[in-house]
Structure 1
Amino acid sequence: MKLLLTSGGVTNASIHAALVEMLGRPTTECHALCIPTAQHGHPWCTPGSAWRFVAGRSPAPMVDLGWASVGLLELLALPHRPRDRWEAWVRAADVLLVDGGDAAFLAHWLRQTGLADLLPGLKDTVWVGVSAGSMALTPRIGGQFLSWPGADGDDRGLGLVDVSIFPHLNYPDFPDNRMANAETWAAQIGGPAYALDDQSALRIVDGVTEVISEGEWRAFP
């Protein structure tokens, strides 16, 4: 799977160019599925914020990038549908657009539905995550970003990549997302990690990680 792990979505020309390169053709020729599930696990998210993501009216550009088609894949519904049906939808998609919210909640439902096991085999599919939609794939989320009570302190992500992500670096409305806090977080993670602002992303293809940025970021070896 090809991964574009963003903090704030496809927010600038550099990230957009990386996305198109990973897709291999313009967004107007690609079919997308959007996944809002992480929103349901975070206390700050509302029915309105979930609707804005799905409708392409979110502050994080994702659904509104001129796709040939966009479908909705809600992970909470998948246990009630035949697997062969929803798996066919996933395999037919060129790109999965995965919203933010609570990363542990998202990781839980990726495991519960079996989608987590399917992802490594989707060689040509592009996963575009924003915030928690990126963090859920990492080895560790960090206790600072756990808000779903069901996590019970377990901050393990899926571990499909070998780096962790501190998102929304220096975002004005998140006073705790400053570099000093990122340094403390990175020390607790105990592995390679990146702090990314909303103009930055990680492009990960075939295990190779590249920073795409028109903003501020920092690597923690």
Structure 2
Amino acid sequence: MKLLLTAAGISNASIHKALVDLLGKPIAESSALFIPTAIYGIKGCAEIIRGVICGTLGDPFCELGWKSIGILELTALPSMKEDLWVPMLQETDALLVGGGDCQYLCYWMQRSGLTKLLPSLLDKMVYIGLSAGSMIMTRFGTTYGNHTLPAGSDKCLGFVDCALHPHMNHEQFPQNSLANQEKLAATLAVPSYMIDDQTAVKVVDGKIEVVSEGEWKLYVPEERRQR
């Protein structure tokens, strides 16, 4: 399993190098699929999706010079035959999962059947998350946006035994101050990685490594420290 869990995308040279290392070849020789689904859970979704795809919004993600890139919309998959979309996933090198609403994304990851496929896909493919796309792979997610989902819908998938708190100390997200993130981390039973937009968490077969040119902090619950 190879994951690159970013707050804001491929925002600096260190994260770029980590991505190339995980791919095992240059980005220009790698294919990718972009999942925009989480963005539909927040206001202004259409314009945000356009900006992420075109590379005019935020740090590089889709516009990295991929050999090829396609779009995989999870909400459409339940109405499609699997042989129309599963082979695309099996043949791609990287899965780019965009940010937005964690609960909305998590619901459609499960509803589409992608969650069940991920363990086998991640033997070869690299999963690259951005914000919510990263958070859902851990054991903590958030809910916001305007959507109607079944009561009790999950906010995360729990592939990685930690929590991830992105956009630490970001001027556009005052609620994500380090102090507030530490308070939240103290309520969780798993270690929490608090990361700014110049930081990513690299996971290879369960081993976690922080890649950063910015600021980050690890909070470990008391019960975990005593083990």
Whether TM-score is above 0.5 comes out as yes
> Structure 2: 5+ residue runs without aligned partners?
221-227
- 1:28-39 aligned at under 5 Å gives the runs 28-39=28-39
Does residue 114 in structure 1 map to residue 113 in structure 2?
yes
Which letter maps to 2:144?
S
1:146 to 131, 143, 147: 143
- 1:66-77 aligned at under 5 Å gives the runs 66-77=65-76
Percent identity of paired positions between Structure 1 and Structure 2:
45
The answer to whether the 8 A contact 2:8-2:197 is kept is: yes
Instruction: Report the Cα distance in structure 2 between the residues aligned to 1:153 and 1:74, rounded to whole angstroms.
Output: 23
Question: How far has the Cα of 1:53 moved from its partner?
Answer: 1.4
TM-score by length of 2: 0.91
- 1:89-168 aligned at under 5 Å gives the runs 89-122=88-121, 123-141=123-141, 145-148=142-145, 149=147, 150=149, 152=151, 156-168=155-167
Q: In 2 relative to 1, CA 196–94 (structure 1 residues): closer, same or farther, beyond 3 Å?
A: same
Q: SS state of the match for residue 176, structure 2?
A: coil
Instruction: Report the Cα distance in structure 2 between the residues aligned to 1:112 and 1:187, rounded to whole angstroms.
Output: 31
The answer to whether the 8 A contact 1:57-1:64 is kept is: no
User: Structure 1 residue runs of 4+, over 4 Å off?
Assistant: 151-155
Q: Say which is worse superposed, 185-194 or 89-98, in terms of deviation.
A: 185-194
> Structure 1: 5+ residue runs without aligned partners?
none
**Equivalent residue, structure 1, for 2:4:** 4
- 1:54-93 aligned at under 5 Å gives the runs 54-93=53-92
Q: SS state of the match for residue 120, structure 1?
A: helix
Which letter maps to 1:31?
S
Deviation sequence 1:42-99 (CA, Å, 0-9, x none): 23x4211111112232213111110000101010111111012211011111001111
The answer to whether the 8 A contact 1:38-1:106 is kept is: yes
CA RMSD of aligned residues (A): 1.4
Aligned residues: 217
The answer to whether the 8 A contact 1:60-1:130 is kept is: no
- 1:152-191 aligned at under 5 Å gives the runs 152=151, 156-191=155-190
The answer to whether the 8 A contact 1:5-1:129 is kept is: yes
**Equivalent residue, structure 1, for 2:24:** 24
Instruction: Report the Cα distance in structure 1 between the residues aligned to 2:78 and 2:57, rounded to whole angstroms.
Output: 27
Q: SS state of the match for residue 188, structure 1?
A: coil
Instruction: Report the Cα distance in structure 2 between the residues aligned to 1:151 and 1:209, rounded to whole angstroms.
Output: 33
Instruction: Report the Cα distance in structure 2 between the residues aligned to 1:15 and 1:155, rounded to whole angstroms.
Output: 29
